[in-house]
Protein backbone atom coordinates (compact mmCIF):
# COMPACT_ATOMS: atom_id res chain seq x y z
CA UNK A 1 0.00 0.00 0.00
CA UNK A 2 1.35 3.45 -0.84
CA UNK A 3 0.82 6.49 1.38
CA UNK A 4 -2.09 7.77 -0.69
CA UNK A 5 -3.68 4.34 -0.62
CA UNK A 6 -3.47 4.29 3.16
CA UNK A 7 -5.57 7.45 3.27
CA UNK A 8 -8.15 6.00 0.90
CA UNK A 9 -8.12 2.70 2.71
CA UNK A 10 -8.88 4.46 6.02
CA UNK A 11 -11.78 6.39 4.50
CA UNK A 12 -13.27 3.29 2.97
CA UNK A 13 -12.79 1.20 6.11
CA UNK A 14 -14.57 3.89 8.17
CA UNK A 15 -17.47 3.93 5.70
CA UNK A 16 -17.82 0.17 5.88
CA UNK A 17 -17.34 -0.03 9.66
CA UNK A 18 -20.17 -2.00 11.30
CA UNK A 19 -19.48 -0.33 14.66
CA UNK A 20 -19.40 3.23 13.32
CA UNK A 21 -22.58 4.36 15.06
CA UNK A 22 -21.14 3.64 18.51
CA UNK A 23 -18.69 6.54 18.32
CA UNK A 24 -21.68 8.90 18.59
CA UNK A 25 -22.60 7.26 21.88
CA UNK A 26 -19.49 8.77 23.50
CA UNK A 27 -18.94 12.29 24.74
CA UNK A 28 -16.25 13.60 22.39
CA UNK A 29 -15.47 17.24 23.13
CA UNK A 30 -13.47 17.87 19.98
CA UNK A 31 -12.63 15.88 16.89
CA UNK A 32 -9.23 17.59 16.94
CA UNK A 33 -8.13 15.21 19.68
CA UNK A 34 -7.31 11.66 18.71
CA UNK A 35 -7.63 9.60 21.85
CA UNK A 36 -5.55 6.43 21.79
CA UNK A 37 -5.45 5.70 25.50
CA UNK A 38 -8.71 3.81 25.96
CA UNK A 39 -6.59 0.88 27.12
CA UNK A 40 -5.79 2.95 30.20
CA UNK A 41 -8.91 5.08 30.72
CA UNK A 42 -11.88 4.58 28.41
CA UNK A 43 -13.85 7.54 27.06
CA UNK A 44 -17.03 8.77 28.74
CA UNK A 45 -20.24 7.20 27.37
CA UNK A 46 -22.92 9.89 26.91
CA UNK A 47 -25.35 7.70 28.78
CA UNK A 48 -22.97 7.56 31.79
CA UNK A 49 -22.79 11.34 31.81
CA UNK A 50 -26.60 11.51 32.11
CA UNK A 51 -26.72 8.62 34.54
CA UNK A 52 -24.15 10.17 36.89
CA UNK A 53 -26.30 13.28 37.02
CA UNK A 54 -29.37 11.13 37.74
CA UNK A 55 -27.52 9.14 40.40
CA UNK A 56 -26.39 12.31 42.16
CA UNK A 57 -29.48 14.49 41.84
CA UNK A 58 -32.34 11.98 41.83
CA UNK A 59 -31.00 8.88 43.53
CA UNK A 60 -28.68 10.43 46.09
CA UNK A 61 -30.15 13.96 46.27
CA UNK A 62 -33.85 13.12 46.32
CA UNK A 63 -34.43 9.46 47.06
CA UNK A 64 -31.55 9.34 49.50
CA UNK A 65 -31.12 6.10 51.41
CA UNK A 66 -34.09 4.47 49.67
CA UNK A 67 -31.84 4.14 46.63
CA UNK A 68 -30.01 1.26 48.27
CA UNK A 69 -33.04 -0.98 47.92
CA UNK A 70 -34.27 0.56 44.67
CA UNK A 71 -30.99 0.45 42.75
CA UNK A 72 -27.66 0.20 44.43
CA UNK A 73 -27.47 -2.88 46.59
CA UNK A 74 -27.70 -5.52 43.87
CA UNK A 75 -25.68 -3.66 41.23
CA UNK A 76 -22.38 -5.51 41.89
CA UNK A 77 -24.13 -8.74 40.89
CA UNK A 78 -26.26 -7.27 38.08
CA UNK A 79 -23.35 -5.49 36.40
CA UNK A 80 -21.25 -8.59 37.06
CA UNK A 81 -23.70 -10.66 35.00
CA UNK A 82 -23.38 -8.21 32.12
CA UNK A 83 -19.59 -8.37 32.31
CA UNK A 84 -19.87 -12.19 32.42
CA UNK A 85 -21.43 -12.05 28.98
CA UNK A 86 -18.45 -10.08 27.67
CA UNK A 87 -15.82 -12.48 29.03
CA UNK A 88 -17.67 -15.68 28.15
CA UNK A 89 -18.72 -16.59 31.69
CA UNK A 90 -22.10 -17.57 33.18
CA UNK A 91 -24.47 -15.38 35.19
CA UNK A 92 -23.47 -15.61 38.85
CA UNK A 93 -19.78 -16.06 38.07
CA UNK A 94 -18.71 -12.38 38.02
CA UNK A 95 -19.17 -9.58 40.55
CA UNK A 96 -17.99 -5.98 40.68
CA UNK A 97 -15.97 -5.16 43.76
CA UNK A 98 -12.94 -3.28 45.07
CA UNK A 99 -9.86 -2.70 42.90
CA UNK A 100 -8.15 -5.24 40.66
CA UNK A 101 -5.24 -5.39 43.12
CA UNK A 102 -7.52 -6.21 46.03
CA UNK A 103 -9.49 -8.77 44.04
CA UNK A 104 -6.26 -10.42 42.98
CA UNK A 105 -5.23 -10.63 46.63
CA UNK A 106 -8.58 -12.15 47.68
CA UNK A 107 -8.60 -14.76 44.91
CA UNK A 108 -4.91 -15.69 45.08
CA UNK A 109 -5.14 -16.04 48.85
CA UNK A 110 -8.24 -18.22 48.54
CA UNK A 111 -6.50 -20.37 45.92
CA UNK A 112 -3.37 -20.89 48.04
CA UNK A 113 -5.49 -21.97 51.04
CA UNK A 114 -7.44 -24.36 48.82
CA UNK A 115 -4.26 -25.83 47.31
CA UNK A 116 -2.78 -26.69 50.73
CA UNK A 117 0.48 -28.60 50.35
CA UNK A 118 1.42 -27.00 47.01
CA UNK A 119 3.74 -24.09 47.53
CA UNK A 120 4.72 -22.51 44.22
CA UNK A 121 3.05 -19.62 42.43
CA UNK A 122 3.95 -19.06 38.78
CA UNK A 123 3.75 -15.73 36.99
CA UNK A 124 5.86 -13.93 34.41
CA UNK A 125 8.13 -10.94 34.08
CA UNK A 126 5.78 -9.15 31.66
CA UNK A 127 3.05 -9.00 34.27
CA UNK A 128 1.71 -5.73 35.64
CA UNK A 129 3.72 -4.77 38.76
CA UNK A 130 0.74 -4.71 41.13
CA UNK A 131 0.08 -8.39 40.37
CA UNK A 132 3.66 -9.27 41.25
CA UNK A 133 3.66 -7.07 44.36
CA UNK A 134 0.50 -8.77 45.64
CA UNK A 135 1.99 -12.20 44.98
CA UNK A 136 5.27 -11.26 46.67
CA UNK A 137 3.26 -10.18 49.72
CA UNK A 138 1.28 -13.42 49.75
CA UNK A 139 4.44 -15.51 49.57
CA UNK A 140 5.74 -13.65 52.61
CA UNK A 141 2.40 -14.10 54.39
CA UNK A 142 2.19 -17.85 53.67
CA UNK A 143 5.72 -18.54 54.91
CA UNK A 144 9.19 -19.71 53.92
CA UNK A 145 8.06 -22.83 52.04
CA UNK A 146 6.31 -20.69 49.45
CA UNK A 147 7.99 -19.26 46.38
CA UNK A 148 7.16 -17.21 43.30
CA UNK A 149 8.56 -18.41 39.97
CA UNK A 150 8.63 -15.96 37.06
CA UNK A 151 8.65 -17.11 33.46
CA UNK A 152 11.22 -15.22 31.40
CA UNK A 153 10.63 -13.22 28.23
CA UNK A 154 13.51 -13.60 25.79
CA UNK A 155 12.56 -10.55 23.71
CA UNK A 156 10.79 -8.38 26.32
CA UNK A 157 7.63 -8.62 24.21
CA UNK A 158 6.27 -12.15 24.48
CA UNK A 159 6.61 -15.38 26.42
CA UNK A 160 6.52 -18.80 24.83
CA UNK A 161 3.98 -21.36 26.01
CA UNK A 162 6.88 -23.77 26.53
CA UNK A 163 8.53 -21.32 28.92
CA UNK A 164 5.34 -21.08 31.02
CA UNK A 165 4.87 -24.83 30.95
CA UNK A 166 8.45 -25.37 32.11
CA UNK A 167 7.63 -23.46 35.33
CA UNK A 168 4.48 -25.46 36.17
CA UNK A 169 4.82 -28.78 38.03
CA UNK A 170 2.95 -30.86 40.64
CA UNK A 171 3.99 -28.40 43.34
CA UNK A 172 2.40 -25.42 41.54
CA UNK A 173 -0.55 -24.13 43.52
CA UNK A 174 -1.48 -21.24 41.27
CA UNK A 175 -0.58 -19.66 37.93
CA UNK A 176 -1.27 -15.90 37.74
CA UNK A 177 -0.91 -14.26 34.33
CA UNK A 178 -2.20 -11.22 32.50
CA UNK A 179 -4.00 -12.44 29.41
CA UNK A 180 -2.79 -9.33 27.56
CA UNK A 181 0.53 -7.84 28.72
CA UNK A 182 0.23 -4.19 29.70
CA UNK A 183 3.32 -3.00 27.84
CA UNK A 184 3.61 -5.08 24.69
CA UNK A 185 -0.02 -6.27 24.32
CA UNK A 186 1.27 -9.85 23.98
CA UNK A 187 -1.72 -12.20 24.41
CA UNK A 188 -1.40 -15.72 25.78
CA UNK A 189 -3.15 -18.78 24.44
CA UNK A 190 -5.66 -19.03 27.30
CA UNK A 191 -6.93 -22.46 26.25
CA UNK A 192 -3.56 -24.16 26.12
CA UNK A 193 -2.16 -22.72 29.34
CA UNK A 194 -5.34 -23.24 31.37
CA UNK A 195 -5.60 -26.86 30.19
CA UNK A 196 -1.94 -27.55 30.96
CA UNK A 197 -2.18 -26.04 34.46
CA UNK A 198 -5.30 -28.10 35.16
CA UNK A 199 -3.49 -31.26 34.04
CA UNK A 200 -0.71 -30.45 36.53
CA UNK A 201 -3.21 -29.79 39.34
CA UNK A 202 -2.65 -26.02 39.46
CA UNK A 203 -5.37 -23.36 39.51
CA UNK A 204 -5.13 -20.46 37.05
CA UNK A 205 -6.00 -16.82 37.73
CA UNK A 206 -6.11 -14.60 34.66
CA UNK A 207 -5.84 -10.82 34.93
CA UNK A 208 -8.13 -9.64 32.12
CA UNK A 209 -7.57 -5.90 32.62
CA UNK A 210 -6.16 -5.27 29.14
CA UNK A 211 -8.41 -7.82 27.46
CA UNK A 212 -11.97 -7.45 28.76
CA UNK A 213 -14.11 -5.53 26.29
CA UNK A 214 -11.46 -5.60 23.55
CA UNK A 215 -10.86 -9.24 22.70
CA UNK A 216 -12.97 -12.37 22.69
CA UNK A 217 -12.42 -14.41 25.84
CA UNK A 218 -14.25 -17.60 26.70
CA UNK A 219 -13.84 -18.38 30.38
CA UNK A 220 -16.48 -21.13 30.50
CA UNK A 221 -15.34 -22.94 27.37
CA UNK A 222 -11.76 -22.95 28.66
CA UNK A 223 -12.81 -23.99 32.17
CA UNK A 224 -10.91 -21.04 33.66
CA UNK A 225 -10.84 -21.14 37.47
CA UNK A 226 -10.38 -17.50 38.46
CA UNK A 227 -10.06 -14.07 36.88
CA UNK A 228 -9.94 -10.38 37.76
CA UNK A 229 -9.96 -7.20 35.70
CA UNK A 230 -10.36 -3.42 35.58
CA UNK A 231 -13.56 -1.73 34.41
CA UNK A 232 -12.06 1.67 33.61
CA UNK A 233 -10.17 0.58 30.48
CA UNK A 234 -12.05 -0.96 27.53
CA UNK A 235 -15.24 -1.29 29.60
CA UNK A 236 -15.37 2.54 29.88
CA UNK A 237 -16.47 2.56 33.55
CA UNK A 238 -14.72 5.85 34.42
CA UNK A 239 -11.71 6.84 36.53
CA UNK A 240 -11.38 4.64 39.60
CA UNK A 241 -14.43 2.53 38.79
CA UNK A 242 -14.43 -0.70 40.83
CA UNK A 243 -13.00 -3.86 39.31
CA UNK A 244 -14.54 -7.28 38.65
CA UNK A 245 -13.72 -10.76 39.79
CA UNK A 246 -14.72 -14.12 38.37
CA UNK A 247 -14.90 -17.53 40.06
CA UNK A 248 -15.94 -20.67 38.19
CA UNK A 249 -19.26 -22.00 39.57
CA UNK A 250 -17.82 -25.32 40.83
CA UNK A 251 -15.15 -23.52 42.84
CA UNK A 252 -17.35 -20.95 44.52
CA UNK A 253 -18.37 -23.01 47.52
CA UNK A 254 -14.86 -24.36 47.97
CA UNK A 255 -13.07 -21.03 48.28
CA UNK A 256 -13.07 -18.59 51.20
CA UNK A 257 -12.29 -14.91 51.11
CA UNK A 258 -9.46 -13.69 53.35
CA UNK A 259 -11.36 -10.43 53.96
CA UNK A 260 -14.62 -11.27 55.70
CA UNK A 261 -16.42 -7.97 55.24
CA UNK A 262 -20.11 -7.45 55.98
CA UNK A 263 -21.09 -7.13 52.30
CA UNK A 264 -19.89 -10.72 51.87
CA UNK A 265 -22.01 -11.96 54.77
CA UNK A 266 -25.14 -14.03 54.06
CA UNK A 267 -27.40 -11.36 55.62
CA UNK A 268 -25.55 -8.13 56.33
CA UNK A 269 -28.64 -6.37 57.65
CA UNK A 270 -29.25 -8.91 60.39
CA UNK A 271 -26.08 -7.51 61.94
CA UNK A 272 -25.25 -10.87 63.45
CA UNK A 273 -21.99 -10.75 65.37
CA UNK A 274 -20.74 -13.97 63.79
CA UNK A 275 -19.74 -13.98 60.13
CA UNK A 276 -21.66 -16.40 57.89
CA UNK A 277 -20.40 -16.29 54.29
CA UNK A 278 -22.94 -15.51 51.59
CA UNK A 279 -23.58 -18.29 49.12
CA UNK A 280 -21.88 -18.19 45.75
CA UNK A 281 -19.68 -15.40 44.52
CA UNK A 282 -21.27 -12.74 46.72
CA UNK A 283 -19.10 -13.75 49.66
CA UNK A 284 -16.16 -12.15 47.82
CA UNK A 285 -17.69 -8.69 48.26
CA UNK A 286 -16.12 -6.78 51.15
CA UNK A 287 -17.59 -3.41 52.17
CA UNK A 288 -19.78 -0.62 50.83
CA UNK A 289 -18.97 -0.03 47.15
CA UNK A 290 -18.19 3.46 45.73
CA UNK A 291 -21.74 3.91 44.41
CA UNK A 292 -21.15 6.80 41.99
CA UNK A 293 -18.33 4.93 40.27
CA UNK A 294 -20.16 1.62 40.43
CA UNK A 295 -23.30 2.95 38.78
CA UNK A 296 -21.29 4.56 35.98
CA UNK A 297 -19.99 1.18 34.79
CA UNK A 298 -23.26 -0.13 33.38
CA UNK A 299 -23.70 1.99 30.21
CA UNK A 300 -20.23 1.12 28.85
CA UNK A 301 -20.76 -2.56 29.55
CA UNK A 302 -24.19 -2.50 27.90
CA UNK A 303 -22.73 -0.85 24.82
CA UNK A 304 -20.13 -3.60 24.46
CA UNK A 305 -22.84 -6.23 24.72
CA UNK A 306 -24.90 -4.39 22.11
CA UNK A 307 -21.94 -4.13 19.73
CA UNK A 308 -20.90 -7.76 20.28
CA UNK A 309 -17.44 -8.75 21.46
CA UNK A 310 -16.77 -10.69 18.24
CA UNK A 311 -17.33 -7.55 16.15
CA UNK A 312 -15.22 -5.52 18.55
CA UNK A 313 -12.34 -7.99 18.43
CA UNK A 314 -12.51 -8.17 14.62
CA UNK A 315 -12.27 -4.37 14.32
CA UNK A 316 -9.48 -4.25 16.89
CA UNK A 317 -7.41 -6.55 14.67
CA UNK A 318 -8.17 -4.49 11.55
CA UNK A 319 -7.17 -1.24 13.27
CA UNK A 320 -3.91 -2.61 14.64
CA UNK A 321 -2.99 -4.46 11.45
CA UNK A 322 -3.56 -1.20 9.56
CA UNK A 323 -1.24 0.62 11.98
CA UNK A 324 1.44 -2.07 11.60
CA UNK A 325 1.25 -1.97 7.80
CA UNK A 326 1.92 1.80 7.94
CA UNK A 327 4.70 1.25 10.47
CA UNK A 328 6.40 -1.08 8.02
CA UNK A 329 6.24 1.31 5.08
CA UNK A 330 6.52 4.70 6.76
CA UNK A 331 7.91 4.56 10.30
CA UNK A 332 10.63 1.92 10.49
CA UNK A 333 13.02 4.19 8.62
CA UNK A 334 12.45 6.87 11.27
CA UNK A 335 13.79 4.69 14.08
CA UNK A 336 10.55 3.14 15.36
CA UNK A 337 10.48 -0.56 16.22
CA UNK A 338 7.40 -2.69 16.80
CA UNK A 339 7.22 -3.50 20.52
CA UNK A 340 4.17 -5.78 20.15
CA UNK A 341 3.64 -9.15 18.46
CA UNK A 342 3.11 -8.79 14.71
CA UNK A 343 0.72 -11.75 14.75
CA UNK A 344 -2.79 -10.55 15.65
CA UNK A 345 -3.72 -13.85 17.31
CA UNK A 346 -1.01 -13.11 19.89
CA UNK A 347 -1.94 -9.49 20.51
CA UNK A 348 -4.49 -7.45 22.45
CA UNK A 349 -5.89 -4.12 21.30
CA UNK A 350 -2.92 -1.80 21.71
CA UNK A 351 0.40 -1.49 19.92
CA UNK A 352 3.67 -0.42 21.47
CA UNK A 353 6.19 1.40 19.36
CA UNK A 354 9.71 1.56 20.70
CA UNK A 355 12.00 4.50 20.02
CA UNK A 356 15.01 5.95 21.88
CA UNK A 357 13.14 9.26 22.01
CA UNK A 358 9.80 7.67 22.94
CA UNK A 359 9.05 9.97 25.89
CA UNK A 360 9.67 13.21 24.01
CA UNK A 361 7.81 11.99 20.92
CA UNK A 362 4.86 11.14 23.15
CA UNK A 363 4.98 14.67 24.62
CA UNK A 364 5.00 16.18 21.12
CA UNK A 365 1.92 14.13 20.18
CA UNK A 366 0.06 15.29 23.29
CA UNK A 367 1.18 18.96 23.18
CA UNK A 368 1.37 19.81 19.46
CA UNK A 369 3.17 22.99 18.48
CA UNK A 370 3.10 22.52 14.72
CA UNK A 371 -0.26 20.81 14.24
CA UNK A 372 -3.94 21.28 14.96
CA UNK A 373 -4.22 17.68 16.00
CA UNK A 374 -3.57 16.55 19.53
CA UNK A 375 -2.97 12.83 19.87
CA UNK A 376 -3.10 11.08 23.24
CA UNK A 377 -1.30 7.76 23.53
CA UNK A 378 0.74 6.96 26.67
CA UNK A 379 4.31 6.16 27.58
CA UNK A 380 5.67 3.15 29.41
CA UNK A 381 9.27 2.94 30.56
CA UNK A 382 11.83 2.73 29.18
CA UNK A 383 11.02 3.39 25.53
CA UNK A 384 7.43 2.40 24.68
CA UNK A 385 4.68 4.59 23.24
CA UNK A 386 1.42 2.68 23.62
CA UNK A 387 -1.34 3.31 21.09
CA UNK A 388 -4.64 1.90 22.32
CA UNK A 389 -7.28 1.10 19.72
CA UNK A 390 -10.78 1.08 21.13
CA UNK A 391 -13.03 -0.32 18.40
CA UNK A 392 -16.18 1.44 19.62
CA UNK A 393 -14.72 4.87 18.99
CA UNK A 394 -11.33 4.70 17.25
CA UNK A 395 -11.57 5.33 13.51
CA UNK A 396 -9.24 4.15 10.75
CA UNK A 397 -8.76 7.79 9.76
CA UNK A 398 -7.50 8.55 13.26
CA UNK A 399 -4.99 5.73 12.95
CA UNK A 400 -3.88 7.09 9.57
CA UNK A 401 -3.52 10.63 10.95
CA UNK A 402 -1.49 9.36 13.90
CA UNK A 403 1.11 7.85 11.60
CA UNK A 404 1.28 11.04 9.52
CA UNK A 405 1.75 13.08 12.68
CA UNK A 406 4.52 10.75 13.92
CA UNK A 407 6.30 11.29 10.60
CA UNK A 408 5.88 15.06 10.90
CA UNK A 409 7.28 15.09 14.44
CA UNK A 410 10.32 13.06 13.42
CA UNK A 411 11.08 14.96 10.23
CA UNK A 412 10.69 18.41 11.86
CA UNK A 413 12.43 17.19 15.06
CA UNK A 414 9.59 18.82 17.00
CA UNK A 415 10.16 16.37 19.86
CA UNK A 416 13.45 18.15 20.64
CA UNK A 417 11.42 21.05 22.09
CA UNK A 418 10.35 18.82 24.98
CA UNK A 419 12.06 17.78 28.20
CA UNK A 420 12.79 14.18 29.11
CA UNK A 421 11.73 14.83 32.70
CA UNK A 422 8.85 12.43 33.40
CA UNK A 423 5.55 13.71 34.82
CA UNK A 424 3.97 11.83 37.75
CA UNK A 425 1.51 9.93 35.54
CA UNK A 426 2.90 8.94 32.17
- By annotation, the residues acting in catalysis are 128, 207, 232-233, 386
For ligand PLP, give the closer residue by CB, 120 or 127.
127
Please identify which residue in 210, 282, 315, 386 interacts with ligand PLP, judged by CB under 6 A: 210
- Report the alpha-carbon distance of residue 184 to residue 354 in Å, rounded: 10
For ligand PLP, give the closer residue by CB, 130 or 218.
130
Stretch that binds ligand PLP, among 87-95, 205-213, 248-256, 356-364 (CB under 6 A): 205-213
What mask of x and - would describe binding to ligand PLP in positions 180 to 199, judged by CB under 6 A?
--x-----------------
Minimum distance of ligand PLP from residue 23's CB (angstroms): 24
Please identify which residue in 115, 120, 172, 209 interacts with ligand PLP, judged by CB under 6 A: 209
Minimum distance of ligand PLP from residue 74's CB (angstroms): 22
Minimum distance of ligand PLP from residue 1's CB (angstroms): 33
SS (H, E, C) 118-178: CCEEEEECCCCHHHHHHHHHHHHHHCCCCEEEEECCCCCCCCCHHHHHHHCCCCEEEEEEE
For ligand PLP, give the closer residue by CB, 115 or 127.
127
- Report the alpha-carbon distance of residue 197 to residue 168 in Å, rounded: 7
Minimum distance of ligand PLP from residue 130's CB (angstroms): 5
Minimum distance of ligand PLP from residue 294's CB (angstroms): 13
Minimum distance of ligand PLP from residue 232's CB (angstroms): 8
Asked if 398 is part of the footprint of ligand PLP (rule: CB under 6 A), the reply reads no
Give the footprint of ligand PLP on residues 213-252 (CB under 6 A): 230, 243
Minimum distance of ligand PLP from residue 307's CB (angstroms): 22
Give the footprint of ligand PLP on residues 121-150 (CB under 6 A): 128, 130-131
Asked if 41 is part of the footprint of ligand PLP (rule: CB under 6 A), the reply reads no
- CB burial readout 222-253, b (16+ within 10 A) else e: bebbbbbbbbbbbbbbbeebbbbbbbbeebbe
What mask of x and - would describe binding to ligand PLP in positions 80 to 119, judged by CB under 6 A?
-------------------xxx------------------
- Report the alpha-carbon distance of residue 349 to residue 344 in Å, rounded: 9
Number of chain residues interacting with ligand PLP (CB under 6 A): 13
What mask of x and - would describe binding to ligand PLP in positions 260 to 279, judged by CB under 6 A?
--------------------
For ligand PLP, give the closer residue by CB, 75 or 210.
210
Asked if 207 is part of the footprint of ligand PLP (rule: CB under 6 A), the reply reads yes
Residues that bind ligand PLP (CB under 6 A): 99-101, 128, 130-131, 178, 182, 207, 209-210, 230, 243
Amino acid sequence: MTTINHKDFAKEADNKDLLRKFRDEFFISTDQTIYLDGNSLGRLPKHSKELISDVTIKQWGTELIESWNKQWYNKPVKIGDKIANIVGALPGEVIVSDSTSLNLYKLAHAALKFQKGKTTVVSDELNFPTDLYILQGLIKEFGPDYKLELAHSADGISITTDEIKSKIDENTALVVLSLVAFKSAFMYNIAEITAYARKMGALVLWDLSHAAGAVKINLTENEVDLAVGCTYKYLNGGPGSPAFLYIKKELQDKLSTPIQGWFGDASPFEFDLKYRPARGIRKFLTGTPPVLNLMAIEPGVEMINAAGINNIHAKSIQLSDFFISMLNTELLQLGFILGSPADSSKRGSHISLKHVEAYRICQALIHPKKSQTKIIPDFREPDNIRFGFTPLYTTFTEVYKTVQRLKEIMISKEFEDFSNLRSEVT
